[in-house]
Structure 1
């Protein structure tokens, strides 16, 4: 970001950097592409399903959370890879923990969708 940027100028620069990050994630991260496609597809499905507006928001939010965690995981992996190619226990641990965070967010999304759908089918 340029020094001494304030107000709207700062927001514009931050938005540009965020968009640059989204494009990089799309270009270099297959998991990110898969999760975006899954999020878009399931979000459309959420609008077709007979759920309340709040349930729909929670369902879509759970999908967006997976994407957010994937972006964080990808940034951790990029930073670790930048440090060097040689194996190091802490580098491996950082990547594994980032991957575990994505896994937990996926489990949360699956649990959310199943809970809401079962509740609507049974109740």
Structure 2
């Protein structure tokens, strides 16, 4: 059976559709992503009220995006592991723990960037 591959604008359309479905699933099913998304949106709006250069603002918004991307990857790991099997396996647990650690590190990076910028205003 051959899978149909779209090209051009049709491929872009279906890629955006798939991404939107993923976003809706995350908002409806992952409380961590939902919380981080709301906080990121509020902090992004707040960054427009700060007296900072455009590049510094880009840094602040980028680190928030970084947290969201890492949370998406972490969720993808968890979903894939759960698809394989729900029984406990040390390597499955390790994969989930490492994904969680990646999220924690991304939060530390975001916190550090925001702290440095706010401290120096």
State the TM bucket, normalised to the shorter chain: over 0.9
**What is the RMSD computed on CA atoms of the aligned residues?**
0.9
Residue by residue over 1:14-57, the C-alpha shift from the partner in whole angstroms, topping out at 9 and shown as x without a partner, is: 11001010011111100000001000111111111111111111
Per the normalisation by structure 2, the TM-score is: 0.95
The count of corresponding residues between Structure 1 and Structure 2 is 119
Shift of 1:119: 2.1
Match of 2:35 in 1: 34
Shift of 1:100: 0.4
Distance in 1 of aligned mates of 2:117 and 2:68? 20
Distance in 1 of aligned mates of 2:53 and 2:96? 38
Runs of 4+ that moved beyond 2 A: none
Unaligned runs of 5+ in 2: none
Distance in 1 of aligned mates of 2:45 and 2:14? 31
SS in 2 for 1:112: helix
Distance in 1 of aligned mates of 2:96 and 2:105? 14
SS in 2 for 1:50: coil
Match of 1:63 in 2: 64
Per the normalisation by structure 1, the TM-score is: 0.93
Match of 2:10 in 1: 9
Question: Structure 1 residue 87 and structure 2 residue 88: aligned?
Answer: yes
SS in 1 for 2:48: helix
Question: Structure 1 residue 51 and structure 2 residue 52: aligned?
Answer: yes
Unaligned runs of 5+ in 1: none
SS in 1 for 2:71: helix
